[in-house]
């Protein structure tokens, strides 16, 4: 991978790791070639610990983000496709249609009643699509038999 996340730079720019490397190089110069293996192993152990700490921190962050996301999803209301809501909404709009029709008919005649009923049907259509969005898609896809080419 050629692109790196900005968080990947924290290992290279770690001042403690840089100090450890400088100390290891100075100790090698002072002690000579006899201690190369021990010095390199000690430094690599520090680097490995730093990598482990970074990975642990990232894993904990990702787990926390997933837990927050899961908690948010669980609080979202589910699809409102219950029998009571669908038919209750339709019943309420029909009950309200009686006074709306009489008021529209009294003030605007037949054209007022037509407008009122278009509004009532429109409100019910919007509610039906909100509850079942697949109504806009029609029957395409699953219900249609495959075409022979």
Q: What is the pLDDT of residues 24-41, one digit of tens each?
A: 888 888 887 787 888 888
Q: Tens digit of pLDDT for each residue in 67-106?
A: 888 888 776 555 555 777 778 888 898 898 889 889 998 9
Q: What is the pTM of this model?
A: 0.40
Domain ranges of the chain: 6-75, 83-137
Structure tokens at 80: 């409102």
pLDDT given for residue 149 in this prediction: 45
> Does position 9 have pLDDT exceeding 60, yes or no?
no
**Given a cut of 70, is residue 42 above it in pLDDT?**
yes
Is residue 146 classed as helix, strand or coil in its secondary structure? Answer: coil
Quote the distance between the C-alpha of residue 108 and its chain's center: 49
**Total number of residues shown for the chain:** 149
Using DSSP's 3-state secondary structure scheme, residue 99 falls into helix
> How high is the pLDDT of residue 147?
53
**Cα distance between residue 11 and residue 82, in whole Å:** 54
Residue 85 CB partners (closer than 8 Å, separation 6+)? 131
Nearest C-alpha neighbor of 16 from the set 39, 49, 40: 49
* Res 11 pLDDT > 60: no
């Amino acid at each position: 991978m050629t692109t790196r996340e900005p968080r990947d730079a924290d290992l290279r720019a770690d001042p403690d790791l840089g100090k450890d490397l400088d100390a290891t190089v100075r100790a090698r110069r002072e002690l000579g070639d006899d201690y190369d293996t021990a010095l390199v192993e000690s430094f690599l152990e520090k680097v490995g610990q730093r990598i482990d700490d970074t990975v642990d921190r990232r894993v904990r962050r990702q787990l926390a983000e997933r837990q927050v996301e899961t908690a948010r999803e669980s609080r979202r209301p589910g699809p409102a496709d219950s029998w009571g809501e669908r038919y209750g909404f339709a019943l309420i709009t029909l009950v309200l249609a009686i006074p709306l029709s009489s008021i529209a008919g009294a003030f605007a005649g037949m054209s007022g009643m037509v407008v009122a009923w278009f509004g009532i049907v429109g409100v019910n259509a919007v509610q039906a699509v909100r509850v079942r969005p697949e109504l806009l898609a029609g029957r395409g896809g699953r219900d249609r038999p495959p075409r022979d080419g």
